[in-house]
Amino acid sequence: MWWTARAPGSVLTVRSVRARSAWVTDASVPGSATRARLDSRACGGRRQGRVPEVGGHAEVGATGWRPGRRPLLLFSLGGMALSLVALGVVLGLPSGPVTNVTALVCMVTYVAAFAVGLGPVFWILAAELFPPQARARGGAVCALVNWATNFVVGQMFLPAADLVGKSAVFWFFAAVSGGAALFVVRTVPETKNRSLADVQRELAGVPGA
């Protein structure tokens, strides 16, 4: 069941936990024959996860972002949180054909939810929230923070799962997704079809923005 637990991650770490599960395992538990065997399963799960991820990105691109940035983020984070809660429950049950398939469904649902919202919208917002003179530097800082947290969580995932259990780790990730949704509701402005000046006025708390 470890391989089913590798793909999902926190709000900011889905790419590293899914895409780098093999080398993270090697770095965290060197010489572990058991974990080495599971790496091949993780790679198989990663290939399966690419289907909903690519499909989700294509769907968002085809719709032209009609729902707006905030609705996509909230839908995405809600789906991610629910998938992680369900995955945590399934991982606490005895292993068997039904639970294995259910865990895979939870994982694929998580990847699909990420792909239709948080995955692409993050990079769009990073470009839309900065003025032109600061856009390159601001986007670079956002990318640095994103990938730095990817690395940290990728390194900490397996030790944390060994320490507190797989279910607890994924419930923690679900709580992070829920907290991110609350952050979007309270802080992130809608940027679709709005000028940068209008968005900045809203961020500054100007009435009527």
For residue 15, the domain's CATH number is 1.20.1250.20
| Residues near 180 by beta carbon (within 8 Å), at least 6 away in sequence | 11, 77, 118
Q: Tokens standing for 75?
A: 């839908």
The count of structural domains within the chain is: 1
Q: Residues 16-66: pLDDT tens digits?
A: 333 333 333 333 333 333 333 333 334 444 444 445 444 444 445 444 457
At residue 122, the pLDDT reads: 87
- C-alpha–C-alpha distance, residues 123 and 111, integer Å: 17
Mean pLDDT for the stretch of residues 131-141 = 91
- C-alpha–C-alpha distance, residues 101 and 82, integer Å: 17
208 lies in some domain: no
At residue 202, the pLDDT reads: 85
14 lies in some domain: yes
At residue 201, the pLDDT reads: 86
Q: Residues 161-208: pLDDT tens digits?
A: 999 999 999 999 999 999 999 999 999 999 888 888 888 888 887 666
162 lies in some domain: yes
At residue 82, the pLDDT reads: 97
Assess whether pLDDT exceeds 60 at residue 106. Answer: yes
At residue 208, the pLDDT reads: 60
16 lies in some domain: yes
Assess whether pLDDT exceeds 90 at residue 158. Answer: yes
Considering the chain, what is the average pLDDT of its residues? 75
80 lies in some domain: yes
Q: What pTM was computed for the model?
A: 0.68
Assess whether pLDDT exceeds 80 at residue 78. Answer: yes
Assess whether pLDDT exceeds 70 at residue 73. Answer: yes
132 lies in some domain: yes
Q: Which domain covers residue 92, as residue numbers?
A: 2-203
At residue 14, the pLDDT reads: 33
How far CA 10 is from CA of 6, 85, 133, 157, in Å, comes to 11, 12, 31, 10
209 lies in some domain: no
- C-alpha–C-alpha distance, residues 106 and 44, integer Å: 16
At residue 200, the pLDDT reads: 85
90 lies in some domain: yes
